[in-house]
Amino acid sequence: MTTPVALTIAGSDSSGGAGIQADLKTFAALGVYGASAITALTAQNTRGVTGIHAVPADFVTAQIDAVFADLEVGAVKIGMVAQVASIDAIAAALSRWKPGHVVIDPVMVATSGDRLLASEAVDALRTRLMPLASVITPNLPEAAALLDGPIAASGAEIEKQGRRLLALGCRAVLIKGGHGEGAESTDYLIDADNTIALAAPRVATRNTHGTGCSLSSAVAAGLAKGADLESAVRNAKAWITAAIGAADRFSVGRGHGPIHHFHKFY
């Protein structure tokens, strides 16, 4: 039996709730072997980010090449990319190795509000990485930032922004509704042919650290296991909703605590 493998290319979260740590927990929870290439070290906890140390771009390349040279990678998830040089390195590596699925979570701001991506890197993300993506997974503020526009306030506006993001070259867009309002959190999966609204009850908790990282990783895990994109997204949405719902079982940190990746097990 072939073991499904997913690679996360992202930043490290020293508090363990987001970034590489959240991605690897997600892969493990969903039965996928996780590999990693670290783009940056962050000093952070549930209350904020106090430092970022970017990994040199040539070493990002070395990590990616080492993984692909040995492991059968079924899907790649890209999170925090930190700087323009890293984006160039990742784009070159993906073009060289040609993975079957690429999920990009355009991480720009942490849950705490701290900025994680330099403004000059946003354009590089748009033009160099997004055209390589099977799907991108921005939240409402990230979708607006990628388009230099206002935050969408309705389903129609979200779909319009999704169509504009598709025009930048990615094959599909999942715009997450967690930053919206109302009793339900509705995500929109948009591709060239369809728009699918995926609603789930909004969970009342402040423990939401790492939700975006984990959802995109859950999508990548589904793709690595051979699911089609819609199925991977639906399963990821159900899993993340349950992980957020179980987050208050934890008492970790004094800010935005982590979600419960292993809610099915304990």
Residues designated catalytic: 176, 208, 210-213
Q: How many angstroms separate the CA atoms of 210 and 213, rounded?
A: 5
CB distance 172 to 190 below 8 Å? yes
**How far apart, in Å, are the Cα atoms of 44 and each of 19, 138, 159, 175, 266?**
11, 22, 34, 26, 26
The enclosing H or E element of 42 equals strand 33-45
For the chain, what is the largest distance between any 2 Cα atoms, rounded to a whole number of angstroms?
48
- Determine the 3-state secondary structure of 111 from DSSP: coil
Region of residue 23 (phi > 0: left; psi between -120 and 50: alpha; otherwise: beta): alpha
Q: How many angstroms separate the CA atoms of 45 and 32, rounded?
A: 26
Q: How many angstroms separate the CA atoms of 188 and 140, rounded?
A: 11
